[in-house]
């Protein structure tokens, strides 16, 4: 098997191509803010010919320090951090949208495993997803039930891609209330 047929991974390749087609047909752009997927969303979309028409950028915000540098976080955000939540990822997505100006931002933060914490949002297999666009903010939480790190990374990417496709196709309503400050970083309890 050549490298080009192994990437993007077969489990997400159809969704990557669907997303690219939707964005191109709607003349829209996208950016990603990733933690647990480690850049898998960005690199997979970039594998599609013509990606420069639709891809505005991607951030891999794996550490809390990277969120200070690139996601608009303050030391207060770091000290109050208690794991990923929909509010946190929607705040990150809002910040990235303001900085890069794409039509859409998809953000994710989760626990790929095999180890994690004692709370639901730090359990291996948990991911919080957020999509921010002109029409609002959409959030979703997913639990895979797996402790396998690579499996979770792929599942998180797959779920994020399915979610953004549903949003672009108008199948999912935006969240009713957007909490937070104007820059999207003041999201209450972190």
Q: Is residue 52 classed exposed, middle or buried when 0-12, 13-18 and 19+ CB atoms within 10 A define those classes?
A: exposed
- Quick check: helix, strand or coil at residue 66? helix
Q: What is the CATH number of domain 8-168?
A: 3.90.950.20
How far apart CA 52 and CA 46 sit, in angstroms, is 8
pLDDT(186) > 60: no
Whole-prediction pTM: 0.91
When pLDDT is cut at 50, 70 and 90, the band that residue 176 belongs to is confident
Residue-range domain boundaries for the chain:
8-168
Return the residue matching tokens 């690199």.
Answer: 43
How far apart CA 183 and CA 96 sit, in angstroms, is 9
**Which strands sit side by side in the sheet containing 30-34, from one edge to the other?**
55-60, 30-34, 104-111, 126-133, 136-143
Q: What is the pLDDT of residues 41-99, one digit of tens each?
A: 999 999 999 999 999 999 999 999 999 999 999 999 999 999 999 999 999 999 999 99
């Amino acid at each position: 098997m050549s490298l080009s047929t192994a990437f993007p991974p077969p489990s997400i390749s159809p969704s990557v191509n669907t997303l690219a087609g939707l964005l191109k047909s709607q003349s829209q752009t996208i950016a990603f803010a990733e933690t647990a997927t480690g850049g898998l969303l960005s690199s997979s979309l970039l594998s599609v010919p013509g990606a420069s028409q639709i891809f505005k950028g991607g951030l891999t915000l794996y550490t809390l320090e990277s969120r200070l540098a690139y996601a608009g976080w303050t030391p207060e955000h770091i000290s109050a951090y208690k794991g990923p939540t929909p509010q946190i990822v929607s705040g990150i997505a809002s910040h990235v949208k303001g900085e890069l100006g794409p039509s859409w931002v998809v953000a994710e933060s989760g626990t790929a495993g095999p180890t994690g914490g004692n709370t639901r949002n730090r359990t291996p297999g948990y991911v919080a997803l957020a999509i921010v666009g002109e029409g609002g903010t959409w959030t979703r939480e997913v639990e895979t039930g797996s402790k396998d790190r690579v499996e979770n990374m792929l599942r998180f990417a797959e779920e994020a891609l399915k979610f953004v496709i549903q949003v672009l196709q108008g199948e999912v309503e935006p969240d009713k209330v957007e909490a937070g400050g104007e820059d999207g970083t003041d999201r209450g309890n972190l």
